[in-house]
Every structure is written in structure tokens, then in C-alpha cells.
Amino acid sequence: MTRQHVTTEINGEPQDFLCDAQETLLDVLRDELHLTGTKEGCSSGDCGACSVMVDGRLVCACLLFGVEAEGKKIETIEGMAEGDKLHPLQTKFLEEAALQCGFCTPGFLVAAKALLDRNNNPTETEVRYWLAGNLCRCTGYDKIVRAVMDVAADMRGA
């Protein structure tokens, strides 16, 4: 069957692509557009490694068909830094060693940014619940949660 033509905006830039109806947005991002920062952990909505923003909502790219992106604004980890200037969350994750293997990190960063963009004063409990859909097999989560709390504190101070 013929591939469908989809028009979107990705990280602020217009972006067209062709995809089969059953391809997920995750497949399209990684295999078609070579935006491989978004990771595939489980492909069942459980791990959050594929977290992206679609029209301002945090979602799992593995649970969306690529064709559903028609007319939508998509934000991925590739759009988080401004050129060489890292986002404060990225800087803090590095400074505080909030990652080990790094596989979960793009998902955590996208999800944490979504939280801080709506609430720069979350409690630790709020951070932990917000990030409950992001799994990390390395860090034990504490350093991730602390890094997010510290960035929030910096945002409030600034």
C-alpha cells in the first residue's frame, strides 16, 4: 500500500515525511528522520524512553502512529539544547551524575522539562509521580529526582 504523506513541525521546523499507517511516531523519528535521541525501551508505554511532546503534551512516541502527527507540533530531545548551549536540566544531570548508561536520559529530560514548564515549584512527591512512567535501571532515581528539584530551585532563584 502507498505510504502516507504527513506534514508536521518538529522542534520548531516544518517537517514532512512519508510513512506506512502502522509505523509508530517512534519508528518515524528514529528510522525515517534519524532523530535517534528518542529511545525505544519497551514499545508498550511502560518505560518512557520514547517520551516526546505532541502539541504541548508529554506522550510516548511508541503509542502514537506516525500518521497521527499530521498538523501537530512535536518536540524531541534534539530540540532541548539551543545549539551548544545545554538546557539547565541537561547541565544539572551532568553535574550531579543523574545518569549512568544514559539510555533513559532523553526521556527523563523531556518529561522533567514538561513538568518544570508548568510547575517550577514541585514537591519531591510530585516529581516522583510525574516521572513514574520513566524507568531507569542504573541510577536508583534519587540523583535524577534531586537534579530536577535543584533545577526547579535555580529557576525560582533566577
> Which residues here bind another protein, judged by CB under 8 A?
1, 4, 20-22, 24, 43-46, 48, 51, 54, 57-60, 62-65, 67-68, 70, 111, 114-115, 129-134
- Strand 51-54, strand 13-19: pairing: unpaired
Q: Amino acid identity, residue 153? A: A
User: If contact means CB under 5 to 8 A according to the sort of partner, which of ligand FAD, ligand FES, another protein, none does residue 102 touch?
Assistant: ligand FES
Question: Which of 46, 70, 95, 142 contacts ligand FAD by CB under 6 A?
Answer: 46
Question: How far, in Å, CA of 139 to CA of 128, rounded?
Answer: 14
Q: How far is the CB of 83 from another protein (least distance, A)?
A: 28
Q: Which ranges in the chain belong to alpha helices (H)?
A: 25-27, 88-95, 105-118, 124-130, 142-157
Summarize as ranges the residues that interact with ligand FES (CB under 6 A): 40-43, 45-50, 60, 62, 99-104, 136-139
Give me the 97-116 binding string for ligand FAD, x by CB under 6 A, dash otherwise. --------------------
In terms of DSSP bridges, do strands 4-10 and 13-19 run parallel, antiparallel, or are they unpaired?
antiparallel
Helix residue ranges per DSSP H, 21-62: 25-27
> Which does residue 64 touch among another protein, ligand FAD, ligand FES, none (CB within 5 to 8 A, set by kind)?
another protein
DSSP 140-154: -SHHHHHHHHHHHHH
The binding site for ligand FAD (CB under 6 A) comprises 44-46
